[in-house]
Amino acid sequence: MNLYIGNLDYGIKEENLRELFEEFGEVTSVKIITDKFSGRSKGYGFVEMASDEQAEQAINTLNGKPVNDRNIAVTKARPKTEGGNSGNYNNRRR
């Protein structure tokens, strides 16, 4: 199960997030989203866990809990939408 982790401290590292979630089971991937220009964290990321049951336990335990003085949000990640062309740039008439 892929989990969305929000309200992260900007200084937290992927290794720290992995360690936090490994308390609940096998973590298959961790990704903190960063700004492509500055490289600074955007304050959210994703953790993928091998077991849905372990992921549910992590959600129930960690959602709203303080990590580095910030109450993190932990939910199931929504599927990525196709395209991402919100401005409809390619469909404009010239």
Per-residue pLDDT of the chain (94 residues; tens, 9 = 90+): 999 999 999 999 999 999 999 999 999 999 999 999 999 999 999 999 999 999 999 999 999 999 999 999 999 999 877 765 555 555 554 4
Q: What is the CA radius of gyration of the chain?
A: 16
- Please state whether the predicted TM-score (pTM) of the whole model is above 0.85: no
Q: Report all structural domains of the chain as residue ranges with CATH numbers, in order of start.
A: 2-78 (3.30.70.330)
Residue 85 · residue 19 · CB < 8 Å: no
**Which candidate, 50, 44, 49, 40, places its Cα nearest to that of 31?**
44
